[in-house]
Amino acid sequence: MTRSSLPRSGTFSEPAKKHLGQHFLHDRGIISDIVHAVDPQPGDRLVEIGPGQGAITFPLLDRHGELTVIEFDRDLIFPLTEAARAHGTLEVIHRDVLTVDFSALAHNGGPIRLVGNLPYNLSSPILFHALDHAPAIRDMHFMLQKEVVDRMAAGPGSKVYGRLSVMLQAYCHVTPLFTVPPAAFRPPPKVDSAVVRMVPRDPASIGVVDPAVFAHVVRDAFGQRRKTLRNALSQLCDSPQIEAAGIRPDARAEQIEVADFVTLANQLAARSA
């Protein structure tokens, strides 16, 4: 594909690949809303996950002048690179995003800002991968399946409050921004999408002593939602230890605040130290 064959909008036409979970955004109003939410400023280090046909890429380049993108689909690399010449400086990393070291990207230039329309079949693994590098990330603006965003931001007592909610909220401020209808994509997905902002918390305010113990507690607590914590966490602790963290042993995981999970995990980490 030559530059002369590219549409004036800067995007290009490549068929979506179902096995990669591709749905290409085309609604200009939604694209404008995303760029406005990101609000790139001079000196920012923007990294886009899954640029696809460049719907968000090129408006970000027009605003900011330079951008790094991570794209797994080899067939998109050349047309994306060619189309970007008219908009700014584009660095393409041809890798599976789950193998990209975000901390290394931020090593010399300061924290990065992540942006992306995430493939729905990989959204949770990508979110947890980003958490592993949270100190190197200033903020994240992601488009995901709306029900995933609802789970990310849910509070105790909600039917969708779960492991994802607790793990993300322990390390980040999670703010849903707006809903995106299926018609905004080609091909349209069968569900609504939503854009969410995640801002990593100051490390000093997180309070998790041992991330591995914390993750184990949360995983077991929500492993069988109908069980009380006394039963769900029986392999990790007993009722007196749960009570010592200020939690009722007969409560269920969906009733427990994020901070209480942190307290319990820290007590268990101190016991095993």
Q: Are residues 37 and 164 in the same domain?
A: yes
Q: Are strands 193-200 and 137-145 parallel, antiparallel or unpaired?
A: antiparallel
Q: Are residues 166 and 106 in the same domain?
A: yes
Q: Are residues 189 and 248 in the same domain?
A: no
252 lies in which domain range? 211-272
SS (H, E, C) the chain: CCHHHCCCCCCCCCCCCHHHCCCEECCHHHHHHHHHHHCCCCCCCEEEECCCCCCCHHHHHHHHCEEEEECCCHHHHHHHHHHHCCCCEEEEECCCHHHCCHHHHCCCCCCEEEEEECCHHHHHHHHHHHHHCHHHEEEEEEEEEHHHHHHHHCCCCCCCCCHHHHHHHHHEEEEEEEEECHHHEECCCCCCEEEEEEEECCHHHHCCCCHHHHHHHHHHHCCCCCCEHHHHCCCCCCHHHHHHCCCCCCCEHHHCCHHHHHHHHHHHHHHHC
To the nearest whole percent, how much of the chain has pLDDT over 70? 91
Q: Residue 23: its pLDDT value, please? A: 66
Q: 16 pLDDT band (50/70/90 cuts)? A: very low
178, 203, 228 — which closes off a domain?
203
Residue count (the chain): 273
Q: Residue 110: its pLDDT value, please? A: 86
- Is pLDDT at 122 greater than 70 in this prediction? yes
Q: Are residues 101 and 187 in the same domain?
A: yes
Which of these, 48, 6, 62, 56, lies nearest to 26 by C-alpha position? 56
* CATH code, domain with 96: 3.40.50.150
Q: Are residues 168 and 238 in the same domain?
A: no
Q: Are residues 197 and 216 in the same domain?
A: no
Q: Are residues 194 and 218 in the same domain?
A: no
- Whether 150 and 187 have beta carbons less than 8 Å apart is answered as no
Q: Residue 93: its pLDDT value, please? A: 96
Q: What average pLDDT does this structure show over 145-173?
A: 97
CA distance 24 to 164: 26
260 annotated as ligand-binding = no
To the nearest whole percent, how much of the chain has pLDDT over 90? 80
Which of these, 176, 177, 159, 261, lies nearest to 211 by C-alpha position? 261
- Number of compact structural domains in the chain: 2
Q: Are residues 48 and 182 in the same domain?
A: yes
Omega prior to 187 cis, within 30 of 0: yes
Q: Are residues 119 and 159 in the same domain?
A: yes
50 annotated as ligand-binding = yes
Q: Which of 55-69, 96-110, 142-156 has the lowest mean pLDDT?
A: 96-110
Q: Are residues 197 and 227 in the same domain?
A: no
23 annotated as ligand-binding = yes
* CATH code, domain with 268: 1.10.8.100
Q: Are residues 100 and 15 in the same domain?
A: yes
Q: Are residues 195 and 103 in the same domain?
A: yes
What digits encode the pLDDT tens for the residues 70-94?
999 898 899 999 999 999 999 999 9
Model pTM above 0.85: yes
Task: For the beta carbon of residue 110, count every other beta carbon within 10 angstroms.
Answer: 11
What digits encode the pLDDT tens for the residues 219-256?
999 998 889 999 999 999 999 999 999 999 999 999 99
Q: What average pLDDT does this structure show over 111-118?
A: 95
CA distance 64 to 9: 17
186, 203, 220 — which closes off a domain?
203
203, 225, 246 — which closes off a domain?
203
Q: What average pLDDT does this structure show over 134-142?
A: 96
Which of these, 63, 58, 55, lies nearest to 38 by C-alpha position? 63
Q: Residue 273: its pLDDT value, please? A: 67
